[in-house]
Structure 1
């Protein structure tokens, strides 16, 4: 079968055609491997479908997502570009949940969208002092990312510029408003961009988090910006701010804010609270990466990263998983808003742990987090 015919089948034939394409490519690689082995029997060579160099072709299950756990088509151009099958991540499969907890208002916001043909956007914002900044970011962050994408291909720089620009835009908005409470409102921001289904970049300010589940283990993609971090505390003090501890032993900038980076919090900008995010770039391995999770601190202060991975791995689909994570944080005693976004990758459902148990009590509560 010709390459053109195979490509046409992938576009129109669904699951069986993709199996045919993969089988054909495996056979081609096996032929090439046989030729190489004849010329040099002492050196083991691998093909793109011989993942461990064993000489045995990878099974369908090695690629995870094509094992009927979540049936997605292969992105043909990126697969050719990177030399390995890459699944399309459909937004319809993304799971999300947000719970008010025991607060009077849910100040968490979340969003996900397809920004371009090859770029997906996921974000969580945890507002404090009101919803003004979280709403502002939820409304305009996509706009700024799109603008900078037109000028810059490096997604880390795009996110860096977008965070700083949206903070300036909010400041202009607040200064033109007669509402003085806008000056003391703020939000965390954790934003992830996924290009070609394989290039993942995360940017974050505050204490909302992103984690990747790889081979069943949690991989943290963000680090909280709190006064407990030596580098963050030094910047606050250098700018004339101070760190005070509340009755629960939690540090706050100038006795008010539990984080050292945020969007908004204009009254603390002169004291070292900045909107510059820390970023991380990672290339996904769909044979071993199960999902990405974005969470706010109502979850993070109750459920650790590995527990989140274990809970999600027990779930049938990402929507169920997002609800389970937020509900488990509530069962553990959180009183804060809790929000989760779960994005499935190639190894979804591949690393279930039968020993996970769901607890319905935990002695610690987060009620006194905000001074």
Structure 2
């Protein structure tokens, strides 16, 4: 409606017409001021759907009471509409990653993070052994393998299971065609997490790398180590003709060689029950309670327990600082192995920061070990 038409109606109509026209004019002004525009940058206007007080100011997660100001992310509008709740955008720029060689001759750990599709994010850690060949192969090919499977399969647990098995077969073909015989004894753990729509988290794992979700300041373990100490894993090894032997430190190994019962690679132990099929877990994120996901290799896990990891990360200003802090603490506690951490922030980042942490340097080794 033009301005001239509005003036004509106001002059010719009664008071009720004036009220109606003024209301229409205000609505037009509001529409022009609040036209929805979504941007990836946090410095630009956000979608007006989530303007909490009608002020026209960008909505922050403090407005919803679930996001710390230090990491201000835009809202994912389609998933928020789909699930009926505000869902933050998880930016790869805010994901913290760190890796340290320790006192080893070579760092065989690898890690990844990537945006696979508009809806799906990918995070992974690989802890190689017997050389870095298997970990390098996963680092190079796992992302592509998952992307190829996503259009064919909606269930992310199935996607990850198929991807692990396919990567293992592909590495076997690669090793058998290679002139390097050491590839037959190269293997790696694999802990891979996919996040869809910012709310669906699926984790798959083989070996003893771990995934932990910090919910309300407490750790929620999303993986279980695959070691010969597990009765079900030990029985499978024996049924397949393998055996478990303990070394001088009292640690069980498959056929006296491998400290885990599932892995990618380790081709010489496939007939002894070492499999590549992962265990998977699906969980719905609650951004009001969930602070972060952390993926770690055993250079950290063997020295720092899950609650300590949550405490260290919760003290940090940003995820990159947190990833380095976890590794540094593991080294301080005596870790000599390769150590890698990936920290993915969620909606409650900074919400459950403890006022203080009591460090116990005399804590028992068992409390911080493999099953902590």
Same fold flag (TM > 0.5): yes
**Rounded Cα–Cα distance in structure 2 between residues aligned with 1:25 and 1:206:** 49
8 Å CA contact retained: 1:294, 1:342: yes
**Rounded Cα–Cα distance in structure 2 between residues aligned with 1:10 and 1:23:** 13
CA deviations on 1:62-101 (whole Å, 9 max, x unpaired) are 5422x41210000000000000000000000000100000
CA deviations on 1:190-221 (whole Å, 9 max, x unpaired) are 00001111111000000000000000000000
**Rounded Cα–Cα distance in structure 2 between residues aligned with 1:164 and 1:25:** 51
**Does the alignment pair 1:320 with 2:348?**
no
Q: 1:126 to 1:361 in 2, by over 3 A?
A: farther
**Does the alignment pair 1:287 with 2:288?**
yes
CA deviations on 1:213-254 (whole Å, 9 max, x unpaired) are 000000000000000101000000000000011111111000
Deviation at 1:141, TM superposition (A): 0.1
TM norm structure 2: 0.84
8 Å CA contact retained: 2:296, 2:342: yes
Deviation at 1:21, TM superposition (A): 3.8
Q: Secondary structure at the match of 2:127?
A: strand
8 Å CA contact retained: 1:96, 1:342: yes
8 Å CA contact retained: 1:211, 1:305: yes
Unaligned runs of 5+ in 2: 1-26, 55-60
CA deviations on 1:151-176 (whole Å, 9 max, x unpaired) are 10111000000000000000000001
**Does the alignment pair 1:126 with 2:127?**
yes
Structure-2 residue corresponding to 1:212: 213
Q: Secondary structure at the match of 1:143?
A: helix
Structure-2 residue corresponding to 1:64: 66
**Rounded Cα–Cα distance in structure 2 between residues aligned with 1:270 and 1:262:** 13
Deviation at 1:60, TM superposition (A): 3.9
Deviation at 1:286, TM superposition (A): 0.5
Deviation at 1:364, TM superposition (A): 5.3
TM norm structure 1: 0.85
8 Å CA contact retained: 2:36, 2:48: no
Q: Secondary structure at the match of 2:236?
A: helix
Q: 1:14 to 1:209 in 2, by over 3 A?
A: closer
Q: Secondary structure at the match of 2:260?
A: coil
8 Å CA contact retained: 1:124, 1:191: yes
Structure-1 residue corresponding to 2:232: 231
Q: Secondary structure at the match of 1:8?
A: coil
**Does the alignment pair 1:189 with 2:205?**
no
- For 1:66-105, list aligned pairs within 5 A: 67-105=68-106
Q: Secondary structure at the match of 1:106?
A: coil
**Rounded Cα–Cα distance in structure 2 between residues aligned with 1:362 and 1:252:** 26
Q: 1:268 to 1:8 in 2, by over 3 A?
A: same
Deviation at 1:16, TM superposition (A): 9.1
Structure-1 residue corresponding to 2:139: 138
Q: Secondary structure at the match of 1:219?
A: strand
**Rounded Cα–Cα distance in structure 1 between residues aligned with 2:41 and 2:234:** 58
2:50 to 5, 16, 22: 22
Q: 1:164 to 1:22 in 2, by over 3 A?
A: same
**Rounded Cα–Cα distance in structure 2 between residues aligned with 1:359 and 1:215:** 23
Q: 1:216 to 1:270 in 2, by over 3 A?
A: same
8 Å CA contact retained: 1:332, 1:362: no
**Rounded Cα–Cα distance in structure 1 between residues aligned with 2:165 and 2:39:** 41
**Rounded Cα–Cα distance in structure 2 between residues aligned with 1:14 and 1:116:** 21
CA deviations on 1:117-161 (whole Å, 9 max, x unpaired) are 111100000000000000000000011101111210111000000
Structure-2 residue corresponding to 1:177: 178
**Rounded Cα–Cα distance in structure 1 between residues aligned with 2:257 and 2:36:** 60
Structure-1 residue corresponding to 2:5: none
**Rounded Cα–Cα distance in structure 2 between residues aligned with 1:226 and 1:119:** 30
8 Å CA contact retained: 2:47, 2:77: no
Q: 1:244 to 1:355 in 2, by over 3 A?
A: same
**Rounded Cα–Cα distance in structure 1 between residues aligned with 2:42 and 2:102:** 43
Structure-2 residue corresponding to 1:161: 162
Larger Rg: 2
Structure-1 residue corresponding to 2:19: none
- Superposition RMSD in Å: 2.4
